[in-house]
Each structure stands twice: as C-alpha cells, then as structure tokens.
Amino acid sequence: MKIIDRLNEDKIHISFEVFPPKTDAGFEKVLEATDQIASLKPSYISVTYGAGGGTSKNTARIASHIKEDLGVLSLAHLTCASSTKEEVRQVIANLKQLGIENILALRGDIPEGMVFPTGDRFRYAWELVEEIRMHGDFCIGAACYPEGHVENEHKADDIRYLKQKVDSGVDFLTTQMFFDNDIHYNFLYRIREAGITVPVLPGIMPITSASQMKRSQELSGTVFPRRFLSLLDRFGNYPDAMMQAGIAYATDQIIDLLANGVKNIHIYSMNKPDVAAKIMENLSEIIQC
C-alpha cells in the first residue's frame, strides 16, 4: 500500500521514525525498538538513511522487516549527496526488489570535506525525485522547512524551490521539527498560496533531555519558544522530570494540531519506544474522534 492512499483517508494518522544503528553490532537493539514501536499500530514507520553509506545498508533491511514481518507500512529514506548517481540507482533497484513502495527523497547533508556538487551526484532533491519516478511506481515523500531551509536566505526562495520539488513528482511532505505551532500554520498558509496542495505532515520531536535539545538545535537551527525554554530551565537537570515534561509538551503540540484540523502527524521518536508509547497513551481517546 502507498502512504499517500492512507493519508488521503478521512481519519487521523500517527506515524513514527526510527534510525538504523551506527554499526552492525547495534542492529538487533534497533530492531527490538522498531518492533515495540510497531506494536503501537502507527499508520507507518519511516527509516532514516545513513550519510556516507555508513548505516544506509540497514535502511532497506529494517524497512523490509517493518513491512513483511510486522505488517506495518514502511517508508525508506534515500539521500543523494553522499552517494553517486549509480549508487542511488542501485538502492532504488534494491528497494523495488524488496517490495518497498514508499521512499522519502532527500538531498541529505553534504559530507564534511567533500567538494559538492560533482558531475556524478545529484545536486538537488528534485533531481532525486525525478530519478525515482523513472525507476518504478513509488509513492514519494519529501522534506520541507517551516522556518526556512538554512541554506536559503529568503523564505520566498525556499517556497519557490519547494514548489519545484513537489512539481517533480512528490506525493506528500514532512516538515522539519518545530516547537511553535503558529510557525506551522503560517507555513501552511504560505505554501497553499503558492499552489502546493499535497498533504503536509507536521514533524514533532519530543525533547526529553537538555543534550537532545542542544543537538536538535545544532542540526536544524530551529527556534525554541520561551514556553519551552522555561520548561528546560526548570526540569533540565532532572532526567525523569524532563522526560515527562518533554512528552507532555509534544502531546500538547499534537493535540493543538489535531484540534485545528491537521489529521496526519509524524513523530521523530528517536528509537525510544517508551516515549512513543506514552504519547500514544496520551492520545488514546483523541485519535478516535
């Protein structure tokens, strides 16, 4: 089944994301976490792609396990900055052979020290989207950035590039994490005005530790609202309290989104089934409405 068909259903959908282990030694542990998250019956589970090929070989294995063994829709990430065009084509062929129907097409981070772009690599995500379209009947997702992509100085340029990417064959979008829902609502208004009509899943990340917040800010440059910073100041030195507060904050974001008509939510669960389970418990009655 294709994810876009599920997203178009008139009901609430909650999905989660997992990431492959950095080494093969951690594979079983990640698989265990994935199994526990799958037991929560999400609409689908996405599997991230390792930069430079370090963990990318496990993306297809985990995505196939989710689909074939756990009976849950899977979404395999595919990035192109760290791989040659031929390597990308090999990954697409492997996913097709495994029966994976859903791919999240990303440019990905440029590996440190690499001269980019080069002639044997895709420069933009829209080029990757076009390549995927040429090799099979995949459902293709892509990323979007409510606060603007860090490489684009002007938000108008950001939306123009996003429109180009969607027009290349994207079926749905997933946002980068954000912590102020007003940013998301404003973003939706601007992209709809620009003619981008595909489903957009808000990406919610439960921040359950001070170190996780620092890492998230380094990776995404996202803005943390005063309300969240106050929570961190008060509970950041108390791990159990911070986890509870972070889960409550993420739950509150999700409830607000659902109350305002958003039906599809993607949660960056960071391979933490306990966090995912608590959020689903908090939403148990709400998602039935």
Each residue's pLDDT tens digit in the chain (289 positions)? 999 999 999 999 999 999 999 888 889 999 999 999 999 999 999 999 965 545 678 999 999 999 999 999 999 999 988 889 999 999 999 999 999 999 999 998 776 766 666 778 898 999 999 999 999 999 999 999 999 865 555 577 889 999 999 999 999 999 999 999 999 999 999 999 999 999 999 999 999 988 887 777 666 678 889 999 998 899 999 999 999 999 999 999 999 999 999 999 999 998 999 999 999 999 999 999 8
Give pTM, 2 decimals. 0.94
- Which domain CATH number covers 100? 3.20.20.220
> What pLDDT shows up at residue 115?
66
> What pLDDT shows up at residue 83?
86
Which domain does 134 fall in, by range? 3-288
Query: Which sequence positions are flagged as catalytic?
Result: 17
- The contacts of residue 67 (CB under 8 Å, 6+ apart) are 73, 74, 99, 100
> What pLDDT shows up at residue 57?
81
- 105: which strand partners? 78, 142
Q: How many domains would you assign to the chain?
A: 1
> What pLDDT shows up at residue 215?
73
